[in-house]
Structure 1
């Protein structure tokens, strides 16, 4: 990995825009825009008076809608509220060098709040019908809510262009990434507790089981559930036990790195490396199966990953002094 940008403040997401510029979300509530060579093009402090920057919270995910070239809306997620009541909000912004001219519109505000600063989910991604998927974590202390239909906790929600919100799937702990393929397939991964990190091929109205089925244990060693399978609940398509703490994920199909073609590339916070998970077709359904590891013990908690249209891969290193790296060809 070659460093492209150094000495960033604590950051959560990177994304290459349709015009091939690299955007970064700073957790304290700002966006930065760079060329793919690392030249700073703009810094935008957002007016977010209800931003809750604590624990795992702050300004988080970035997504560009299908009509971005025309509208220039950028979609973002962030945690809002207070110690006593906080949750996830999705907004869209049109940035301007003059902060007073930056447009901000709320798209979604989580209804059932909690008093924990962790497990927000927070990842967002557009589907082919221009609806938006949003992952809502279980809030850690509220894991039973992941199975309750009257709660948004532990769910993946679908937000339509008219802002109508529906539950896409349930039974999730803390989904941290989406990868939307050209054929419409959607993969997500999520954190288990002590073990049981997983990749899922998402399907609408499916129950993914948390906390009733899991391969993970509680952090003090006890069983969360005696079940790893249960009727009408989907087991993981791919499991990491022990946990790797997956963060970002992309689907890579470019021939720039031929050995990575047709893989899910997943960054790891815990082991500070990149995991390549090959997709193989089984009865016309893509399944994640074969895994390879790159940049073992890089020395950075790898927080997010993105790619350019010509197959360049960029990785965000986590921390109070964050960095962005480009994946380079080995000699």
Structure 2
């Protein structure tokens, strides 16, 4: 069985199809190939050591695709209490650095039911195209009603600890400033779910020991630049006020005390855009683009894009290329606007190409590579 669509390869010139900021240089031309299609709300992508790929579908399936898009395996992981509704379901798959030795991966997903649910983290072993030894290692507290704002992105740091993003639960935004729980926080755990002894609040009374940072709305993008050691995260604002931040342990990023966004009703969330003791974003989007995934490019195919950020947008229906210099954005370009598609995730592949997942019941996996060099 194949879900790969070797249909037309679209040759796209970025300079003619993207919106370029006044600061931006024109990017190199690229070609866009459909690698796979008929993916049911794909949410995240990870590359296995053999260059095949794991794709999560929010609706509960995990698929393995070959480098050419052939469907190699399709399973419905037996995740305890998996809850699929609205923004809830199976979210991210992370392959830790030790995967080659122990075949253990990590999955974030929503567990519970319509009356009480939360974001859960589970480890499992990928063996013979199946998941075995599934163990839940973390459940965000408290449980809540609704089916929105879970976060769910993961990043492994150089000390093997895992940073997990969490949302504010939508109806519980004030809790993002409550240090006693996990709503609106980013947490840091060891691969077995234990709490690192050097977490910023591990011994502070009234603080949940797992907390790495607080004051977040719904973080769905997080990456680390191994060259300059910076961690970037982005999060959804309400109407306006989507943020790009440099993440540091112990910081408070303001939500909902300081924000550039307004409520969906048109009411003001807060009179403050900045507030003492709270970190301002390095970039923001108003109106909202609904940032969903993020990659930092360190591949070989696009030498001019080294260290740049690529952010997928749901509402904005574009791939945002942010040119970065020393932790600052100096230019922004919008790519793939001609697709008019909600874009969910973006990754740099082992081949140096950029891979993008579209967000729909018939989602696609796309690959960006440079245009072939014309023959003399």
- Return the TM-score normalized by structure 1: 0.94
Partner of 1:62: 93
Give the drift of 1:316: 0.4
Bigger CA drift: 176-185 or 145-154? 176-185
Structure number with larger C-alpha Rg: 2
Give the drift of 1:257: 1.7
Q: Is the 8 A contact 2:301 2:369 kept in 1?
A: no
Equivalenced residues, count:
326
- Return the TM-score normalized by structure 2: 0.83
Partner of 1:322: 363
Give the drift of 1:217: 0.5
Q: 1:12 to 1:41 in 2, by over 3 A?
A: same
Work out whether 1:20 is the aligned partner of 2:51.
Answer: yes
| Structure holding more strand per residue | 1
**C-alpha distance in 2, partners of 1:49/1:170?**
27
Residue aligned with 1:50, SS: coil
Partner of 2:319: 274
RMSD: 1.5
Counterpart selection for 2:272 from 227, 240, 245: 227
**C-alpha distance in 2, partners of 1:311/1:79?**
32
Residue aligned with 1:78, SS: strand
Q: Deviations over 1:98-142 (max 9, x none)?
A: 85x722111211120110100000111101110001111000000
Partner of 1:5: 36
Residue aligned with 1:144, SS: helix
Residue aligned with 2:301, SS: helix
Give the drift of 1:34: 1.2
**C-alpha distance in 1, partners of 2:135/2:192?**
13
**C-alpha distance in 2, partners of 1:54/1:200?**
29
Partner of 1:261: 306
Q: Is the 8 A contact 1:42 1:97 kept in 2?
A: no
Partner of 1:143: 173
Work out whether 1:169 is the aligned partner of 2:235.
Answer: no
Counterpart selection for 2:260 from 207, 215, 218: 215
Deviation >6 Å, runs of 4+: none
Q: Is the 8 A contact 2:299 2:348 kept in 1?
A: no
Partner of 1:45: 76
Give the drift of 1:18: 3.6
Bigger CA drift: 18-27 or 71-80? 18-27
Q: Deviations over 1:267-323 (max 9, x none)?
A: 111121110111112xxxx22332111111412211001122231111101111111
**C-alpha distance in 2, partners of 1:60/1:133?**
15
Bigger CA drift: 159-168 or 180-189? 159-168
Residue aligned with 2:302, SS: helix
Work out whether 1:80 is the aligned partner of 2:121.
Answer: no
Work out whether 1:201 is the aligned partner of 2:246.
Answer: yes
Counterpart selection for 2:283 from 238, 247, 253: 238
**Structure 1 unaligned runs (5+)?**
none
**C-alpha distance in 2, partners of 1:270/1:296?**
11
Work out whether 1:287 is the aligned partner of 2:328.
Answer: yes
Counterpart selection for 2:226 from 182, 187, 205: 182
